Amino acid sequence: MRRLPMLSLLAAMALATPAAAQPAVYNPWGGPDSPGGIFGGDPLDADTDRDQRVTPDEFWTWLRARATGRDLDRSNGLSPQELGIKPTDRRGQAWFRAADRDGSGHLSLDEIEFWSGMSFRFHDINRDNVLTPPEVTPRPRRSRPPAVPTNPPPG
């Protein structure tokens, strides 16, 4: 089952090194290093009833429209290239392989929907099944503590 590696990858992406040293984060929210996220736009644009609360249905409708717009070859799937992930981007390629649950080399709408649900739950900090502006605003990254050498020099 590929869910555990996907969860591990999302957790690893949430952990941080200093922001300046981090490559782009592949999520719909964007951030300092990926403005507008992988599909572009503001997640609050998904709030169709303008109540400042994005439901899972609003989020999926918003994300599906952006995914469809990125499907340049109309294959009903997204390649890494259509997502702007370069072949040399190891982190982006790893994210893509984890999201590509069937290993086809394209993300189907089913795979994107599965990933969007995980992303929604990850950002729903208070677990009320709606996203509010503080939850969709990119959060500052925590920095890791300095590495401690395992074999300190004799001295």
Domains parsed from the chain with CATH numbers: 3-17+24-136 (1.10.238.10)
Percent of the chain with pLDDT over 70: 61
Q: Which of the residue ranges 34-38, 105-109, 115-119 would you say has the lowest mean pLDDT?
A: 34-38
Residue indicated by tokens 């992930």: 85
Res. 140 pLDDT band, cuts 50 70 90: low
- Residues 52, 54: Cα–Cα separation, whole Å: 7
Helix (H, G, I), strand (E, B) or coil at 77: strand
- CA angle, 119 as apex, 145 and 89 as ends, to 5°? 65
pLDDT at residue number 5? 44
Per the rule left: phi > 0, alpha: psi between -120 and 50, beta: everything else, 30 is: left
Mean pLDDT computed over 86-107? 91
Q: Which of the residue ranges 12-16, 64-68, 122-126 would you say has the lowest mean pLDDT?
A: 12-16
